[in-house]
Amino acid sequence: MTPDQSGAIWHPSPNFGPRRDGLTPSLIVLHYTAMDGAQAALERLCNPAVEVSAHYLIGGDGTLWQMVAEGNRAWHAGAGEWAGQEDINSRSIGIELDNRGTHPFSEPQMAALEWLMRGIMQRWRISAEGVIGHSCMAPGRKWDPGPRFDWGRLARQGLAAGLAGAPLPQTVTFAHFREAAAAAGFTAPADDQTLLAAVRLRFRPWGRGPLCAADFLPLSSLVR
Catalogue the active-site residues: 96
Name the DSSP class of 79. S
Give the Cα separation of 112 and 31 in Å (integer). Answer: 15
- In this structure, what is the dihedral angle of CA atoms 163, 167, 168, 170, given to the nearest 10 degrees? -160
* Rounded alpha-carbon distances, angstroms, from residue 50 to 20, 42, 219, 221: 21, 12, 36, 37
Measuring CA to CA, which residue among 81, 21, 35, 78 is closest to residue 53? 78
Give the Cα separation of 118 and 126 in Å (integer). Answer: 10
Chain center to CA of 81: 12
The backbone torsions φ and ψ at residue 60, rounded to the nearest 5 degrees and listed phi first, read -65, -25
DSSP per-residue letters across 93-116: EEEEES--SSSPPPHHHHHHHHHH
Sequence-ordered alpha helix ranges (H) in 29-99: 38-45, 88-91
